[in-house]
């Protein structure tokens, strides 16, 4: 009896069919995009990835995302068998084939590079060549009302991995630490979880960086706390400085978060998301704050000024 095919799903939202996926030197339909059960990315989470988005046909901060992908790969001794320029071309073709990255439909893009197929065992030398996957689908924007009301988050009991065990600057496909924290958020009916480090300092959420406003200063956990140096995080810090908003990267506790007047999250796909509740306690007056709204308002202009970091086909 023929076994039913299982198609990968990138989010809870359906994508239009057929979906074309780049897999090891060629584009194939999603139903044909299969990898070996001996792939070390599947067996051990041995790989790296990067997610990007487009604004219309423009891929935002493409060079920065691709550079980070290559840095992550280098950090785990993984050689990506495609040049950065070729990957950029593949991203463009993926958008064209999947009819995304248009004026009507922003694109969500993901690049995954695993160690590749090899015999069972942890030795990377068992794998002859990496597996490279590039996907493009319509970007699913957060519901607009969330930007108006803000979201609820919790502080997870799951702690962030020690940087000395695994550098947070490596975007690894081994995401179990984040998944455990996300499970906590789902169980609590929250949008996401904030993870603490080994010293009980704030780090980041499962897929975003955290900012808070305390005593008139925009504050975000320092990289030394054990968090990813997010590209949108970097842009927001730069934007705040251009707007003469005092900023500080430091070590902050849950008590600081509870005392904060404002809080928001940042990542590539959602940009700046207001947080109005932490552990069911209101942040400030329980509404998105003025500084959060100001940064959200100015963010599109910041994208425009950094036009050299936008790439189009």
Return the SS3 of 227: coil
159 in active site: no
Cβ 256 vs Cβ 212: under 8 Å:
yes
Task: Report the chain's terminal Cα–Cα distance, integer Å.
Answer: 45
**Catalytic residue (one of 2, 29, 171, 259):** 171
Q: ∠180-145-14 over CA atoms, to 5°?
A: 60
Neighbouring CB atoms inside 10 A of 102's CB total 14
* The pairing of beta strand 47-55 with beta strand 107-114: antiparallel
**Site of tokens 């969500």:** 108
CA distance 11 to 78: 27
CA distance 79 to 98: 28
Short-list 64, 42, 41, 40, CA closest to 51? 64
**For 112, phi and psi rounded to 5 degrees?**
-125, 130
Cβ 221 vs Cβ 204: under 8 Å:
yes
Q: Which residues contact 41 (CB under 8 A, 6 or more apart)?
A: 35, 47, 112, 114, 115, 116, 131, 173
CA distance 49 to 66: 10
Q: What are the CA-CA distances from residue 302 to residues 37, 94, 299, 307 (Å)? A: 44, 27, 5, 9
Q: Which residue numbers are catalytic?
A: 171
């Amino acid at each position: 009896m023929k076994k039913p095919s299982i198609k990968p799903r990138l989010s809870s939202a359906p994508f239009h069919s057929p979906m074309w996926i780049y897999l090891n030197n060629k584009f194939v339909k999603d139903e044909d995009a299969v990898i070996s059960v001996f792939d070390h990315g599947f067996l051990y989470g041995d790989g790296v990835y990067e997610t990007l988005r487009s604004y219309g046909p423009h891929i935002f901060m493409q060079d920065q995302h691709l550079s980070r992908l290559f840095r992550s790969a280098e950090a785990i001794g993984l050689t990506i068998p495609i040049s950065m320029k070729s990957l950029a071309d593949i991203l463009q073709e993926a958008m064209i084939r999947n009819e995304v990255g248009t004026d009507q439909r922003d694109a969500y893009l993901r690049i995954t590079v695993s160690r590749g197929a090899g015999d069972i065992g942890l030795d990377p030398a068992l794998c002859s060549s990496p597996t490279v996957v590039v996907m493009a689908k319509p970007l699913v924007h957060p519901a607009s009302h969330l930007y108006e009301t803000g979201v609820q988050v919790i502080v997870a009991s799951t702690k962030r991995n020690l940087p000395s065990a695994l550098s947070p600057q490596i975007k690894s496909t081994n995401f179990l630490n984040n998944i455990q924290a996300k499970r906590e958020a789902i169980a609590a009916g929250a949008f996401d979880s904030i993870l603490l480090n080994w010293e009980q300092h704030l780090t980041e959420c499962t897929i975003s960086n955290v900012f808070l406003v305390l005593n008139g200063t925009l504050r975000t956990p320092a990289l030394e706390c054990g968090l990813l140096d997010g590209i949108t995080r970097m842009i927001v810090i730069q934007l705040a400085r251009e707007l003469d908003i005092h900023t500080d990267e430091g070590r902050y506790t849950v008590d600081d978060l509870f005392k904060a007047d404002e809080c928001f999250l940042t990542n590539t796909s959602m940009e700046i998301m207001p947080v109005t509740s932490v552990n069911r306690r209101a942040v400030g007056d329980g509404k998105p704050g003025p500084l959060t709204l100001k940064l959200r308002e100015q963010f599109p202009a910041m994208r425009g000024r950094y036009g050299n970091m936008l790439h189009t086909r």
